[in-house]
Amino acid sequence: MQKRLAVLASGTGSLLEAMIDEKLPIALVLIDRPCRAHGVAVEAGIKTMLLQRTFGSTFDRDAYTRQVTRVLHDENIDLVAMAGFMTVFAPCMFDEGGYAGRLINTHPSLLPAFKGAHAVRDALEYGVKVTGCTIHHATRNLDEGKIIAQEVVKVFSGDTIATLHERIKDVERRQYPWILRALISTN
Ligand code: GRF
């Protein structure tokens, strides 16, 4: 039987749009804040859920992660794709009965270089001549899971964070949907 796919997003949702264009069977889109990705999912007729996170010292990462896993289990989700989801999960996401091995992420750098939330900025500031994207398994260590695919993107002189990130996202929009399709179809 085909696996049930959930997509987690926090941003503009252009990767989600690419998955929808590729007709991936997305059972659920979960967002952690109001964002454009929500509208993209609604427009496509996909079930959406907003699990609003809080910011600052009151944020209970464990409780939030448990809330997410509960929703994913309730929806019988087999495979989870993070597409610009900006909340880091607590380790319990990967505990027994969690989503270890079934949670995929795309990151806008050639891991293990430039981990974290500012990968494009950090690569530009470092002065690298090539960067790219990495599609990988998410683990309890941020941006460290087994790599599934990578592709190089050249840095041009005069690039800004926005121009470089957009070229990286072009690659992510091309690569991520077919990788997910392959993962959905395999046992
Ligand atoms: C992607 O570059 C992804 O790697 C990063 O956030 C971006 C998501 O873009 N974590 P969008 O919101 O889908 O346009």
What are the tens digits of pLDDT across the range 85-141? 999 999 999 988 889 999 999 999 999 999 999 999 999 999 999 999 999 999 999
CA dihedral 182, 30, 116, 107 (to 10 degrees): 20
What pLDDT was estimated at residue 56? 93
Q: Which amino acid is at 69?
A: T
**What are the pLDDT digits (tens) for 20-57?**
999 999 999 999 999 999 999 999 999 999 999 999 99
Q: Phi and psi (nearest 5°) for 3?
A: -70, 150
Question: What's the 83 CA to ligand 1 centre distance in angstroms?
Answer: 6
Tell me the pTM: 0.96
> Can you tell me which atom of ligand 1 is nearest the CA of 37?
12
CA 168 – ligand 1 centroid, Å: 9
Looking only at the bridges linking them, the beta strands covering 103-107 and 130-137 are antiparallel
Assess whether pLDDT exceeds 90 at residue 187: no
- pLDDT at position 88, please? 95
Closest by Cα among 139, 141, 156, 148 to 175:
148
Residue 180 is predicted with a pLDDT of 97
Q: Is the CB of 169 under 6 A from ligand 1?
A: yes
* Spatial separation of the C-alpha atoms in residues 179 and 138, rounded to whole Å: 15
pLDDT at 1: 72
Ligand 1 centre distance from Cα of residue 169 (Å): 7
